Amino acid sequence: MPDERKREETMMTDIGKNGQRTEETKGVWTFRDKSLSYQNRTLVMGILNVTMDSFSDGGSYYTPELALACALEMEKDGVDIIDIGAESTRPGAEAISADEELSRLIPALKLISQYVSVPISVDTYKSKTAREALAFGASIVNDVWGLMYDPDMAKVVSENNAGLVLMANYTDPKIFKKEGAIVENCRAFFEMGMKKAQEAGIPMSNILFDPGIGFGTETDESIELIRNTSYFQKHGYPILVGASRKRFVGATLGGVPVEDRDAGTLSVSCYCAKEHAAAVRVHDVHGTVQGMKMWQALEG
């Protein structure tokens, strides 16, 4: 297994200075009555889209029954969290209302929550959707706007003691203007989001931070963010990397299409595990779990 003392040493300090991440919660993601440790290994979050237009698997799991079958398969394959999304956030995707998002999400969520035991995350940036999802079986909110889009999102997360994935997003200069080095931009976004979380009373142990791969980043910037996983960890931001099948993987591998990017994604996931990321978010749960177990065995 990887050097666990080194892994814990990377989970320090800036957030801890605020007194909100203790020795007991370091390396543990806590929310509601649940806790997931990432001290010994990187967690795997599985992507389940109940949309018709997601860039990779749109339409594959559009009905509640198909979504349930996928969720059960992920659980059998060893997933730690299932992340359900009902609105595509791919570049150029058309925004939908919260009501439409809920009409897709809630039937699948109700069914899945009856049959799976792993925590369920909802991929949304709308507080109305998050509130309803948390009432029907979700326990984590994965916000692609890192609390910066919907002014009520932080309150909803706090009131429900939910887990939070706080993602940096560089696609709208009215919300965040990207200037200069991407790593510093990412850290600045994290600091803005963390301030909102603290003001709302969200414990830091409830939060993982996503550097926003593909959300306004070029290929070289995406790679730079991943290379700096340990940098973010050392500054108190436990990192979840969502690189699965994204454009930078295809570009790096010479233009391979979306359906051929799982091997490249697995390389990213193993690198993130080496850099002690808290979690990776992937489409191919089976391949990722097996590949990362093999990597851990080889690391010794």
Catalytic choice (155, 246, 247, 261): 246
Burial class of 167 by CB neighbour count within 10 A (0 to 12, 13 to 18, 19+): buried
Catalytic choice (126, 178, 245, 281): 281
Phi, psi of 143 (to 5 degrees): -100, 110
Could you tell me which of 212, 208, 215, 213 has the C-alpha nearest to residue 237?
208
User: Phi-psi bin for 268: left (phi > 0), alpha (psi -120 to 50), beta?
Assistant: alpha
- The residues near 193 (Cβ < 8 Å, ≥ 6 apart) are 146, 147, 148, 166, 168, 209
Q: Is 147 helix (H, G, I), strand (E, B) or coil?
A: coil
Cα 288 from Cα 274, distance rounded (Å): 14
**DSSP assigned state of 239:** B
User: Does the active-site annotation cover 227?
Assistant: no
User: Does the active-site annotation cover 5?
Assistant: no
**What is the side-by-side order of every strand in the sheet holding 207-210?**
207-210, 163-167, 140-143, 120-123, 81-85, 43-49, 279-282, 240-241
> Structure tokens of 185?
């931009």
Active site residues per annotation:
246, 281
